[in-house]
Amino acid sequence: MKILIFATQKDSGIVAATYEVIEAAKSLGGDICTAVLAENAEPLAAELASRGGGKVLAVSNPALKYFNDEIYTRVMMELISRYSPDLVLGPATFYGKALFGRLAGLGSEALVSDVTGMTLDGDRVVVTRPSYGGSVIEQIVEDGGKPFFVTVRPKIFPESKDGAGEVVTETVDASCFKSGAKVIEVKVESAGSQNLAEADVIVSAGRGIKGPENAGLVKELADSLGAAFGASRAVVDAGWLSYSQQVGQTGKTVNPKLYIAVGISGAIQHLVGMQTSKTIVAINRDKDAPIFNIANYGIIGDLFEVVPPLTRKFKEELQ
């Protein structure tokens, strides 16, 4: 099997989710190629080669400094045509999903997004993904069309740490870099000390904080753990915190090692976005709150009495 991986970059570095995709590809075996598109792709390609990226295809051009759907799609289509992969993988991030939707559409091929598991059934790929808001786990079998496009949910697979590889400098037709749109600048909204989608630890605030003036209480708890700071939809809709911090079906789907829900009752749209977290801790004064049905640990109590001593304890232990 020939596998081509799209490496996502951010702030001139490869995002962790790319190395998770490489590890997922390793579990299938076969020949792995990784494509990295950047203004100067060579340093990134060298890092990918040393961490299991196999044959790393480096495409450099000033037009690749920022993600542009049109340009990135043309470059990737040329590489796909050149290498004829059976499977094309990428992280299910904002850019990954945008790119793969275009790639599959242009090639009239199958696409499965947000995959949480992959195996082989003979020479066919079988992928697992949540469906219907996470209430159903479905298995989808490759239909034989080539290539098969798949995006992998972050924080499911461990990162690939090592592996021998080589860097191949690739050139594509100059027409690939033409676009009717030009990205001049990229501005990123911060959701706390870390990006929610990439964070290993997340602390989220719910309606139980009662008002925006109390958001700092939960933010301080997040900071004491070096965690990302999230929020429920109710908090965002009320204007207490920004949309970039929303976790849930209409916000961000997260999968951290630890998720602490503070004053969140557990509406289904919120649970869908975080219920796959490895460990869930809920703090709520309502013992019948739905959040306790999925929590590994629950603290029944007033968050204004529970959170401050927790924050002090974490600061003492982690200093």
Residue 95 has pLDDT above 80, yes or no: yes
The CA distance from 319 to 310, in Å, is 14
Whether 190 maps to a domain, the answer reads no
What is the largest distance, in Å, between two alpha-carbon atoms of the chain? 63
At 114, give phi and psi (nearest 5°).
Answer: 65, 45
pLDDT-wise least confident of 28-37, 42-51, 123-132: 123-132
What pLDDT score does 134 carry? 65
Residues 18, 156 within the same domain:
yes
Residues 219, 167 within the same domain:
no
Residues 19, 137 within the same domain:
yes
Q: What is the mean pLDDT of residues 145-164?
A: 89
Residues 173, 200 within the same domain:
no
Q: How far apart are the first and last CA of the chain?
A: 49
Whether 182 maps to a domain, the answer reads no
At 28, give phi and psi (nearest 5°).
Answer: -90, -20
Classify residue 126 by burial, with Cβ atoms within 10 Å: 0-12, 13-18, 19+: middle
Residue 109 CA to its chain's centroid (Å): 23
Q: Among 240, 239, 300, 296, which residue's Cα sits nearest to residue 265?
A: 300
Residues paired with 36 in a beta bridge: 7, 58
- The residue with greater pLDDT, 19 or 136, is 19
Residues 26, 137 within the same domain:
yes
Whether 185 maps to a domain, the answer reads no
Residues 18, 69 within the same domain:
yes
Residues 146, 224 within the same domain:
no
Classify residue 78 by burial, with Cβ atoms within 10 Å: 0-12, 13-18, 19+: middle
Q: What is the mean pLDDT of residues 271-300?
A: 94
Write down which residue in 145, 177, 209 finishes a domain. Answer: 177
Instruction: For residue 23, give the CATH number of its domain.
Output: 3.40.50.620
Q: What is the mean pLDDT of residues 254-281?
A: 92
Average pLDDT, the chain: 91
What pLDDT score does 191 carry? 46
Residues 163, 200 within the same domain:
no
Residue 189 has pLDDT above 80, yes or no: no
Q: What is the pLDDT of residues 155-185, one digit of tens each?
A: 888 899 998 899 999 999 999 999 988 888 8
Instruction: For residue 302, give the CATH number of its domain.
Output: 3.40.50.1220
Q: What is the mean pLDDT of residues 237-255?
A: 88
Residues paired with 139 in a beta bridge: 128
Q: How confident is the model at residue 295 (pLDDT cuts 50, 70, 90)?
A: very high
- pTM, rounded to two decimals: 0.79
Split into its structural domains, the chain has a count of: 2
The CA distance from 33 to 315, in Å, is 44
Residues 155, 210 within the same domain:
no
Q: What is the mean pLDDT of residues 295-314?
A: 96
Q: How confident is the model at residue 318 (pLDDT cuts 50, 70, 90)?
A: confident
Alpha helix positions (H), the chain: 16-26, 42-50, 69-83, 94-107, 215-224, 233-237, 268-274, 303-318
Write down which residue in 177, 209, 224 finishes a domain. Answer: 177
Amino acid at 193: S
State the residue for tokens 């021998």. Answer: 164
State the residue for tokens 């470059």. Answer: 75
Whether 275 maps to a domain, the answer reads yes
State the residue for tokens 């340009």. Answer: 71
Whether 76 maps to a domain, the answer reads yes
Residues 225, 169 within the same domain:
no
The CA distance from 200 to 278, in Å, is 10
Q: What is the pLDDT of residues 56-78, one digit of tens each?
A: 999 999 999 999 999 999 999 99
Q: How confident is the model at residue 154 (pLDDT cuts 50, 70, 90)?
A: confident
Query: Which range marks the domain in which residue 125 is found?
Result: 2-177
Whether 66 maps to a domain, the answer reads yes
Residues 232, 149 within the same domain:
no
Residues 161, 220 within the same domain:
no
The CA distance from 51 to 199, in Å, is 21
Whether 139 maps to a domain, the answer reads yes
Whether 264 maps to a domain, the answer reads yes
